[in-house]
């Protein structure tokens, strides 16, 4: 009996025996085809959109919570390489001539899943939660996770029930794009926070989205169900079940056994067989980069020649084609896809081990050195981090660098990543990216240095900061792209990071699943997905 058949039998049994079951349980038992089960690559973090980390978590939260400004995720990467910004919970927005004030016209007649009305006061509550330490419901964790969006925030002003203004200290042109991202300003129910507290929201997720929370059993499943009172087009599915299956082989077996409908990150060497056997294998071009941070507290890594040598020492093509069988592409820059400034022709530090040895000799490390590299063992977008790291370990050994791999599971790993590295650690690893050139500032600007920021290696370069600021505030689109490119060049010539791979986000999808689209983003829209009965 498959997992889906098991769920149906349980529900039908409860229904027939007259047990006190909820409406949602009856729906599952009477319409198996309306339940979609996704095998995800790790356990999710907290279901609070202001605090939850990792793509796995964001893909779940995105179905329940909404933003003022949204991205159109109904188009594939090929159809829309840059996701279009569209109205979300704001029907429209205007920016003042000086670029510092945004006025949002909010949708009316929208309710949160708990019945609380959505209005300007609810938006104000959410903004204060993330920006105002004097607010009763200020949330330090949420503020630290989303502060990239609020870096230039000055104040917010409720005009009336359906209008709110946000004032910035600088003309931050990427502000609307950042508002559209997960982990920025997905609007949560003020009533839910007042009832359960900041930490309690994660167990009672309450947004306005097309799906609402049903239940969570850690390590087993997270269930969301259709929001029948949704303001927009209703979801096609009645229920979605996310099942964490951290082992790639287990995910592959689960879909072949009809226990799930979709699996994320299938084993790279299984993709051809899945296609030959009639499964749909879909992928895209999300704004993803798998990269390594140098620890600038480590004396060896402070030498630019060492950083450049390690960049030259890594065979990215080999990792992409031999280890991951073409399911990724080599990354030669820290900028990510999904915005107008991305230039795929820029290739810094192509594989050249002889040049790496020469640079190490110049730096005084002709006989190499020992170091430690940290990585997770799993996590969304992390691909197969230990396998990749072992490849890199061999590449580094070939030029004389003996690297010890220090690995841990994703949730604890990310907490350590945010705190920065101990001095004896040489590097750590991460995979991330955004559909905004501002991503470059998130990893390289001193304002984002650890602890708390995404600049885990504490890379600080005053000239880079200045150019990143100029790019962020430049109102002319063409000039801003030139400045982003200048910042990229400074960062890459400084070898501040090692970009390694760009993921193509392959999924294996059962043929009965319809309209599962991989957009140019790290998360997707399940409201448009249906199951062919």
The per-residue pLDDT for range 13-53, each reduced to its tens digit, is: 333 333 333 333 333 333 455 999 999 988 898 999 999 88
Residue 412 has φ and ψ, to the nearest 5°, of: -70, -35
- Enumerate the H helices of 201-266 as residue ranges: 248-256
Residues facing 216 on adjacent strands: 222
Residues 6+ apart with CB under 8 A from 360: 305, 306, 309, 366, 368, 399, 400, 401
Q: Which two tokens stand for residue 278?
A: 């009639």
User: What pLDDT is stored for residue 23 in this prediction?
Assistant: 36
Buried b / exposed e along 117-146 (16+ C-beta atoms within 10 A):
ebbbebbbbbbbbbbbeeeebebeebbebb
User: What pLDDT is stored for residue 21 in this prediction?
Assistant: 32
User: What pLDDT is stored for residue 33 in this prediction?
Assistant: 57
Q: Which two tokens stand for residue 103?
A: 């006025």
| Contact in structure between 213 and 11 (CB atoms under 8 Å) | no
Q: What is the 3-state secondary structure (H, E, C) of 158-198?
A: EEECCEEEEEECCCCCCHHHHHCCCCCCCECCHHHHHHHHH
Each of the 533 residues of the chain gets a pLDDT tens digit; together they read 444 544 444 433 333 333 333 333 333 333 455 999 999 988 898 999 999 888 899 999 999 999 999 999 999 999 999 999 999 999 999 999 999 999 999 999 999 999 999 999 999 999 999 999 999 999 999 998 898 999 999 999 999 999 999 999 999 999 999 999 988 999 999 999 999 999 999 999 999 999 999 999 999 999 999 999 999 999 999 999 999 998 889 999 999 999 999 999 899 899 999 999 999 999 999 999 999 999 999 999 999 999 999 999 999 999 999 999 999 999 999 999 888 888 888 899 999 999 999 999 999 999 999 999 999 998 778 888 999 999 999 999 999 999 999 999 887 898 889 899 999 999 999 999 999 999 999 999 999 999 988 999 999 999 999 999 999 999 999 999 999 999 999 999 999 999 999 999 999 999 999 999 999 999 999 999 999 87
Q: Which two tokens stand for residue 127?
A: 């903004």
Distance CA 494, CA 307 (A): 8
Residue 526 CB-density burial (10 A; 0-12 exposed, 13-18 middle, 19+ buried): buried
Tokens 């704001």 appear where? 90
Residue 102 has φ and ψ, to the nearest 5°, of: -110, 130
Q: How far apart are the first and last CA of the chain?
A: 19
Please provide the DSSP assignment of 71-94 as one string.
Answer: E--SS-TTT-SSPPEEESSEEEEE
Distance CA 279, CA 255 (A): 10
User: What pLDDT is stored for residue 54 in this prediction?
Assistant: 84
Query: What is the SS3 assignment for 47?
Result: coil
Distance CA 90, CA 67 (A): 8
Q: Which two tokens stand for residue 442?
A: 């998130």
Distance CA 188, CA 49 (A): 8
Element (H, E) at 432: strand 427-432
Distance CA 289, CA 37 (A): 27
């Amino acid at each position: 009996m498959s997992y889906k058949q098991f769920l149906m039998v349980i529900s039908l049994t409860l229904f027939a025996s007259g047990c006190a079951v909820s409406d949602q349980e009856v729906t599952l038992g009477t319409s198996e085809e309306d339940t979609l089960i996704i095998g995800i690559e790790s356990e999710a973090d907290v279901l609070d959109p202001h605090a939850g980390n990792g793509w796995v978590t964001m893909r779940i939260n995105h179905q329940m919570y909404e933003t003022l400004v949204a991205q159109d995720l109904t188009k594939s990467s090929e159809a829309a390489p840059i996701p279009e910004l569209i109205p979300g919970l704001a029907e429209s927005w205007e920016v003042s001539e000086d670029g510092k004030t945004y006025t949002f016209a909010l949708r009316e007649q929208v309710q949160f899943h708990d019945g609380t009305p959505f209005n300007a006061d609810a938006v104000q509550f959410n903004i204060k939660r993330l920006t105002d330490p004097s607010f009763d419901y200020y949330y330090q964790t949420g503020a630290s996770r989303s502060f990239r969006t609020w870096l230039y925030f000055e104040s917010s002003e409720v005009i009336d029930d359906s209008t709110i203004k946000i004032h910035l200290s600088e003309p931050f042109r990427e502000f609307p794009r950042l508002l559209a991202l997960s982990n920025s300003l997905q609007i949560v129910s003020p009533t839910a926070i007042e009832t359960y507290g900041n930490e309690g929201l994660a167990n009672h997720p309450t947004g306005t989205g097309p799906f609402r929370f049903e239940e969570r059993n850690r390590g087993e499943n997270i269930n969301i169900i259709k929001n029948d009172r949704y303001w927009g087009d209703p979801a096609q599915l009645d229920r979605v079940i996310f099942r964490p299956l951290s082992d790639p082989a287990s995910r592959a077996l689960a879909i072949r056994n009809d226990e799930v409908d979709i699996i994320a990150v299938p084993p790279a060497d299984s993709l051809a067989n899945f296609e030959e056997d009639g499964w749909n294998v879909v992928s895209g071009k999300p704004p993803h980069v798998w990269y390594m941070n140098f620890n600038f507290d480590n004396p060896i890594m402070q030498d630019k020649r060492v950083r450049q040598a390690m960049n030259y020492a890594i065979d990215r093509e080999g990792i992409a084609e031999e280890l991951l069988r073409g399911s990724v592409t080599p990354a030669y820059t820290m900028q990510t896809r999904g915005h107008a400034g991305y230039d795929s022709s820029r290739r810094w530090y192509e594989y050249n081990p002889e040049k790496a040895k020469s640079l190490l000799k110049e730096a005084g490390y002709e006989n190499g050195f020992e170091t430690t590299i940290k990585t997770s063992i799993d996590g969304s977008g992390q691909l197969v981090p230990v396998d990749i790291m072992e490849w890199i370990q061999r590449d580094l050994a070939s030029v004389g660098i003996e690297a010890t791999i220090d690995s841990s599971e994703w949730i604890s790993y990310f907490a350590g990543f945010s705190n920065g590295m101990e001095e004896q650690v040489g590097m750590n690893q991460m995979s991330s990216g955004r559909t905004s050139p501002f991503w470059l500032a998130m990893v390289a600007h001193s304002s984002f240095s650890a602890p708390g920021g995404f600049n885990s290696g504490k890379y600080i370069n005053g000239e880079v900061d200045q150019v990143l600021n100029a790019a962020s505030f430049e109102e002319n689109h063409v000039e801003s792209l030139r400045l982003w490119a200048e910042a990229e060049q400074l960062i890459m010539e400084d070898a501040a990071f090692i970009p390694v791979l760009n993921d193509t986000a392959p999924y294996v999808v059962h043929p009965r699943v319809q309209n599962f689209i991989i957009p140019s983003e790290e998360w997707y829209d399940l409201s448009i997905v249906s199951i062919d009965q």
